[in-house]
Amino acid sequence: MPDAAAPADTHTAAPEGLWYVAAIASKLRPGREHAERAFGRTLLLRRGAQGEVIDTGPDPMPVRESEGLIWAWLPGPEGEAPPCGPPVFNGPGAKVRFVEEALLPGPYDDAVYGLLDPAHGPYVHASPLWRSSRTLREKAKDYVPSAMGFTMQPHEPKNSAAYKLIGGGVQVEIGFQLPALRSEWISNKSNKVLGLTTLTPVDANSTRIRQIFYWESPLLSLVSPFVRPLTRGFLQQDVHIMTLRQRAAPWRKREMLIRDGDQLFIWYRRMKAEWARARASGQAFENPVRAATLRWRT
């Protein structure tokens, strides 16, 4: 059934007062500036005398380095300073082992929708290595709220052969938190991998998606050069579907969100609205997500 209780908010801008991934730390070279587009401006990143990262652009933003990533704080109109540092995920080895990125056309919330859509995997990313629409299965996933988002409880993956790279007995736990940080923990008795997908607004009509991985497995380091072309193609599939979505924009003035398939995006919209309310009122953020079991075919 359509979610009649979903907020009518159609604002597609990225939420303020949060940290976004602005760059990969390894791109910063000693004595040189590294330019990155984000939030409709150009960040000029370089290392200071003490090794810290600073933005020397004409409209500098607060930036921090953590776990091999450069984070930028998006303030509100008042230009407030960040009350805390960027989120910490404790990826294995705290070192970025693999990263690919692409530029998605369209506003920020369209990119978030693609990140959360359960049908996105088998239909957009059809691949013998990953999954296809021919292997759809009935699934029930248990979700619980987290401090700034929600988490899919650990489960055994059924569709993708890619998980077998780290061996048998794999369990997967997927988390999502504002502004749009998707963490996927893949683990068994021998190995642990963190896949982090991040979205950063470049401007009002484009969003940067990054696929970032942390691991300590020598085998994954050995095969990663062969996986890179597949990951690049994976992200280009995202670019393609987002291009089609923008072409259809004139005919989707009102979107109908369906439970259970769109529930993750419904939660995102509710969390985004609650975050804006909490910031405006000066009160604490109260996560509107409640524990639930969602069912779909993927």
Sheet with 34-38: strands ordered across: 34-38, 41-47, 53-55
> Average of pLDDT values for 68-85?
92
Please classify residue 55 by burial: count the beta carbons closer than 10 Å to its beta carbon, then call 0-12 exposed, 13-18 middle and 19+ buried.
buried
Question: In angstroms, how far is CA 278 from the centroid of its own chain?
Answer: 22
What pLDDT sits at residue 8? 34
Cα 183 to chain centroid, rounded: 7
Residue 221 domain flag: yes
Assigned domain for 72 exists: no
> Containing domain of residue 211, as a range?
90-297
**68 domain residue, yes or no:** no
What's the average model confidence in pLDDT over 94-117?
94
Q: What percent of the chain has a predicted confidence (pLDDT) above 90?
A: 59
Q: Give residue-wise pLDDT tens across range 22-39.
A: 999 999 998 899 999 999
With tokens 């990155």, the residue in question is: 36
What is d(CA 115, CA 118) in angstroms, rounded to the nearest whole number?
Answer: 8
Query: Residue 216: inside a domain, yes or no?
Result: yes
Give tens-digit pLDDT for 210-238.
999 999 888 888 888 877 887 888 889 99
For the residues 69-73, what does the mean pLDDT come to? 97
Centroid of chain to Cα 137: 25
**pLDDT (0 to 100) of residue 4:** 35
Token pair 């380091």 is at which residue?
A: 221
Looking at every residue in the chain, the average pLDDT score rounds to 87
Q: What is the pLDDT of residue 261?
A: 87
Start-to-end CA distance of the chain, whole Å, equals 19
Please report, for the domain that includes residue 288, its CATH number.
Answer: 3.90.380.10
Of the given ranges (46-50, 54-58, 159-163), which has the lowest mean pLDDT? 159-163
Element housing 39 (H / E): none
pLDDT above 90 for 101? yes
Q: What's the confidence (pLDDT) of residue 226? A: 75
Q: Are 24 and 45 in contact (CB under 8 A)?
A: no
Chain-centroid distance of CA 85 in Å reads 18
pLDDT of 9 > 50? The answer is no
Tell me if 158 is assigned to some domain. Answer: yes
Residue 4 included in any domain: no
pLDDT per residue over 115-171, tens digit each? 999 877 777 776 655 555 566 778 889 999 999 999 999 988 766 556 666 667 789
The number of distinct structural domains making up the chain is 1
Predicted TM-score (pTM) of this structure? 0.90
pLDDT of residue 253: 72
Q: Any long-range contacts for 216-225 (C-beta under 8 Å, 24+ apart)?
A: 216/92, 216/93, 216/191, 216/192, 217/166, 217/191, 217/193, 219/165, 219/166, 220/97, 220/165, 220/166, 220/191, 220/193, 221/97, 223/165, 224/97, 224/98
Question: Is residue 179 situated within a structural domain?
Answer: yes
* Structure confidence at residue 7 as a pLDDT band (50, 70, 90): very low
Q: Which residues of 91-112 are buried (b: 16+ CB within 10 A; e: fewer)?
A: bbeeebbbbbbbebbbbbbbbb
Q: Is residue 248 part of a domain?
A: yes
pLDDT band per the 50, 70, 90 thresholds, residue 258: confident
pLDDT of residue 84: 94
